[in-house]
Amino acid sequence: MTDHIIGIDVGAETGIAIYQGGIMTTKTVTLHGNDGSARLLHFWHHLHRYHPDVVIFERPFARGAAKRQLDSFVTAIELWAMTNEIRWLGISPSTLKKAITGHGHAKKYEMIAAVNELYPDCPILDDNQADAAGLIHYYLTAGSSSHRDPRRKK
């Protein structure tokens, strides 16, 4: 079983969950900067603080400029994971919600309540943290067999 997992819910308010040694911790990181490039650089530097075995992230659902910005964060995660030989997995918001609450259109408050129930020793303060912790739960219970391993030959 993988020991060190990071879950990331990308956005201007990025939720990060860290699972190591059976203990879950979460936090929300505000990505600072006046434009998308500055926020992406802040995110990139933040990623390099971690050295997990696996990173799992929510593939954002957005349109227009927001989609382009969020897609750049996903690309940064994938590039960081590949260059550091970290296994990675991206899942859709509806897949995450269904795995955690039982239905793919769960509201933010439903995700927070469900994750707080799953991890009562890890207080979840917002929906970003709930999604990040939910991603790790998804990986531990259902997603570990479908991860992308950059060391595996095609």
Taking the chain (154 residues) in consecutive chunks of 10 residues, what is each chunk's mean pLDDT? 84 91 92 79 84 91 75 90 94 94 94 96 95 96 59 38
Give the model's pLDDT for residue 42: 81
Q: Which two tokens stand for residue 10?
A: 């990308």
Which residue's structure tokens are 């659902």?
A: 61
pLDDT of residue 69: 77
Domains (ranges, CATH) in the chain? 4-146 (3.30.420.10)
**Reported pTM:** 0.87
Residue type, 22: G
Going by C-alpha positions, the residue among 19, 52, 27, 46 that lies closest to residue 129 is: 27
pLDDT for the residue numbered 49: 87
Give dist(CA 46, CA 125) in Å, integer: 20
